[in-house]
Amino acid sequence: MRAVRNIILHYIFVIIILFDIDLVLTEETKNIKNVAAQQRRCSYKIRKLWQTDISSFPFAASPLVTDIDGDGGLDIVAAPFGETLAVIEGETGKYLHDTSWPQHNLDKSVHSSALQFDIDGDGILDLLFVTSQGEGLFYTSLGHALPKYTFQLPAPYVHSSWFRDSHFVHYQNLRNYVSFTEKPGYIPVDPHVLSTPVLYNMSHLIFPVSCFYSDDDYNTTDGRGPWGERKFKNKFYLAAVAVLDLNAFMMFVGHGRNKDGQQEVSFIKMFFLELSESPVFNLFTPTVIDIDGKFGPPEIITGLSSGQLYVLSLEGSHRAGFPLTFANISGRVSAADLNDDGDLELVVLDAKGTAHCLSSKTAQLMWSTEIGGTSFAGSVVTNIDYDNYLDVVVATDQGKVFALSGVNGTILPHYPFKAGRRIVGHVLVTKFNVIKNANDLVFLSDDGILHILAADHSCLSQMALADSSFVDILTYNVVGMNRGMELIVSTSDGSLICLGSGMESSLEERVDLEYSILSKRLAYPSDTATHNNFYFSLLKPVILIDEATKLLKEVTGSFLEFTVNIFNSLPSQKFHLKVYLGSHLVHTVDQVSGDNSPLSINIRTPEQPGQAHIVVAVYDQFGFVYTDSIFLKFNQLILLDLQWLVLAPFIAMIIILLVNHGFPAKDLLPVTFPSKSK
């Protein structure tokens, strides 16, 4: 497991940054090599707004930025590699008040970001933390554990002497050596989840699974264990994808667990991909999209450290033309329409320093480009040179940032940019000046230098941070009164840093519609903000719930009517719209036009007075999803009125008695006193 940690901890850094930034330049910064003389330094207005120490362990996955408690302010859910699980206020960096956060996590490690799902059906989104050991832990927004809903991915069973027949078993032959149930002569191999699972359609959790025996889980003096003798321990490596049906899981929990204490696994499917004597891991979050672009069921795209690229359905069937073989695949697989032909291309990076682009439909290779080095985070897609075609941005462990043409893979002019030291996380693509054409690229090198580079290289600034990071830099408007967006950096020493302009924004800015749309397009609230967030564009679709509804605090009655707008640069594009109360689907509209016109929605309110998150999601033909949400109270004022109505007759009777009889000289009711002798 230590070897795996070293691999994983390479790509787990997080930073915080903002819109307008005033960078502090040290002598070390000023003397960074490879900065072209013609690049002028830009005076971004930025400073540290707050810093909070969460843990002594590094962050192995980015935090999640969201409104946990429904107070209208953004919170940050932080799950470092070990020690603690925490929620802090985005405004101040302090732990969320009047809650049970933080929670201790002393005996489990975490390689994944938190996810939100209403597991107990009360309408309020709960938090799911998935440990490296494949255990799912649910907490309420207030930090109360929900042990009833804890689950454990089951260990697959592998034939104890499989390696006597072969050193490697392809997925087509795995049924001869691997079983989902216990059999004579088979031994359980421990499952691990080493990156963030995908929450698909508020109904399925999709896990990248790596099965092996970890030194951290077995500390035997003679080296023996389920594998037998010491020499056989490292002959059991199994890569898989697991799919958990959340609705079936909730039904199972609702009917009670098995009386014999054994976990029922009918709600979990596990698809085995490779069995090997050599280490093989499923290290990166799968890509989940509908390749055919017909609003249909999705495909799961996952690349293994062995170099195999798999594409399979939710039922486990493999798509024709896959798997494909590359060198060791490094980083998540990106999917986007790079050549504007209406179909999706896949971008795959391997450990030999090659970027590959292939057709998702036919598996045909479109282009390959040698870039050198390894990218731990994968690629991000944007339009660097404004030629109407998307480009691919990749940062490597050699300290270089490449921009490749999405059409043919050629390296764009002025690239690569040489930072000089290893880069672990994604390049954050944002825009500090919306008037200026060029996007801005934000990334952190291993020497603790934060780089802000205009995509056309017209502007470069660097800032010396006190620490490095293994995970992505996030950006969101977490400090409501602060002008512009903030940057969130998760460091290798377990701290969170928030960088911002430090200037107060006006009320007009905060309520301006264009500002709200722009903030949505710039936001990057998690490395898995949605299950397929790969590209940055100021033209990508945005859905917004109307401001009047967002200002509501209390809803009375049996129905809630509100409007939403889909802002999109392609008015003819169609979407499927879904409305969730918590995680319960309550409303759907198919083939909605993205023409910016308001769409009226009418949903039934909860039968019982309470509170709930309302999430509105729109999906395009490929399953790319865009969301907005609000938090409302339902019929709680009526409940309060009813309570007063129940008390009213009793209060009236007391008043009448007092008016008619006055205050009594002695007690109206008999009173007993304890004996003095007692």
Overall domain count for the chain: 2
Cα atoms in the 13 Å half-sphere on the side-chain side of 640: 8
Pairing of strands 459-464, 40-41: parallel
- The reply to whether 408 falls in a domain is no
In a domain? residue 552:
yes
13: confidence class by pLDDT, cuts 50, 70, 90: very low
In a domain, 204, yes or no: no
3-state secondary structure of 29: helix
SS3 of 259-272: the string is: CCCCCCCCCEEEEE
Greater pLDDT, 532 or 39: 532
Q: Which residue has the tokens 């390959």?
A: 368
Q: What is the pLDDT of residue 487?
A: 94
DSSP helix/strand/coil, 660: helix
Assigned domain for 123 exists: yes
pTM, two decimals, is 0.87
- State the DSSP code for 277: S
Domain of residue 590, CATH code: 2.60.40.2470
Cα→Cα distances 604→558, 579, 634, Å: 6, 11, 11
Q: How many CA atoms lie within 13 A of 461 on its CB side?
A: 19
pLDDT of residue 263: 58
Average of pLDDT values for 603-610?
A: 86
Structure tokens at 67: 């409104």
| Whole-number pLDDT of residue 528 | 66
| End residue of a domain, out of 103, 124, 150 | 150
Residue 651 pLDDT level (bands cut at 50, 70, 90): confident
Selection from 593, 651, 616 nearest residue 545 by Cα: 616
Tokens coding 190: 């421990």
Specify whether the CB–CB gap between 324 and 360 falls below 8 A.
Answer: no
Sole residue written with tokens 């009360």: 122
Q: Which long-range contacts (CB under 8 A, 24 or more apart) does 215-219 make?
A: 215/1, 215/2, 216/1, 216/2, 217/1, 217/133, 217/190
Q: What is the DSSP string of 419-477?
A: -SS-B-SPPEEE-S-SSSSS-EEEEEBTTSEEEEEETTSSEEEEEE-SS--SS--EEE-
Instruction: Give me the pLDDT at residue 579, please.
Output: 97
Helix (H) or strand (E) holding 640: helix 636-661
Question: Can the peptide bond before residue 298 be classed as cis, meaning omega within 30 degrees of 0?
Answer: no
CB 100 within 8 A of CB 86: no
Instruction: Please list the alpha-helical segments (H only) found in 209-343.
Output: 246-254
Structural domain includes residue 608: yes
Tokens coding 616: 């509105």
**CA 286/CA 296 separation, integer angstroms:** 18
Prior bond of 649 cis (ω within 30°): no
| 487 part of a folded domain | no
Among residues 599, 615, 634, the one where a domain terminates is 634
pLDDT of amino acid 242: 97
Cα 654 → chain centroid = 58
User: Residue 645 — very low, low, confident or very high, per pLDDT cuts 50/70/90?
Assistant: low
| Domain interval for residue 619 | 542-634
Cβ-in-10-Å burial (0-12, 13-18, 19+) of 108 comes to middle
Query: pLDDT band for position 16 (50/70/90)?
Result: very low
- d(C-alpha 341, C-alpha 339), whole Å: 6
pLDDT band at 580 (very low <50, low <70, confident <90, very high): very high
- What's the burial of 38, exposed, middle or buried (CB within 10 Å: 0-12/13-18/19+)? exposed
pLDDT for position 505 = 76
Tokens of 639: 């409940």
DSSP secondary structure of 164-202: GT-SEE-GGGGGGTEESS--TTEEE--EE--S--EEETT
* Domain assignment present for 67: yes
**Is residue 434 in some structural domain?**
no
The better pLDDT of the pair 144, 262 is held by: 144
Q: What average pLDDT score do residues 572-586 get?
A: 94
pLDDT in tens, 549-567: 988 878 888 899 999 999 9
Whether the predicted pLDDT of 490 surpasses 90: yes
Question: Rounded to whole angstroms, what are the CA distances from 645 to 199, 572, 641, 648?
Answer: 45, 54, 6, 5
Q: Are 190 and 107 in contact (CB under 8 A)?
A: no
Ordered DSSP codes for 534-576? -B--TTS-EEEE-HHHHT--EE-SSEEEEEEEEE-S-TT-EEE
Q: For the CA atoms of 431, 435, 438, 443, what is the dihedral angle to 10 degrees? A: -20
CB contact burial 349-387 (16+ within 10 A = b; e otherwise): bbbebbbbbbbbbebeebbebebebbbbbbbbbbbbbee
Q: What is the mean pLDDT of the chain?
A: 86
